Amino acid sequence: MKDAQEQAGLPPGVWTGLGLAALGPTAGSVVAERQAQLLFGEGRHPDADRLERKRLDDGAGPETGAAAGELSESGGQGDTGPRGCCG
């Protein structure tokens, strides 16, 4: 994705919008390719990898660890709700 973006002469994507407070990224910061894949490709929190790793490091089991990267119905981080955004 990054290569195609650079070839097209497009600037990197940046975080913007009212939902940022629920997700955590700073407005105007660059969206990492993995963050875009998690959020738009998998319907998970853009920092799911980090959140899941922290939960596992804190002693949670695999299912609980994986739940840390799910999005709640409101679009923020949560352990319940559909695996999607902006519902």
| pLDDT tens-digit readout, 6-49 | 778 878 899 999 988 888 899 999 999 999 999 999 999 999 99
Provide the token pair at 38.
Answer: 């998690």
Distance CA 1, CA 12 (A): 10
The amino acid that residue 47 corresponds to is: D
Q: Does pTM top 0.85 for this prediction?
A: no
Whether residue 47 lies inside any domain: the answer is: yes
Q: Is residue 43 part of a domain?
A: yes
Euclidean distance between CA atoms 22 and 64, whole angstroms: 20
Q: Is there a domain that residue 84 lies in? A: no
| Domains: count for the chain | 1
Given pLDDT bands bounded at 50, 70 and 90, which one contains residue 81? very low
Is 48 part of any domain?
Answer: yes
Answer whether residue 82 is part of any domain. Answer: no
In a domain, 45, yes or no: yes
What range defines the domain where residue 44 resides?
A: 2-16+24-67
57 within a domain of the structure (yes/no): yes
Let me know: does 42 contact 82? Beta carbons within 8 Å.
Answer: no
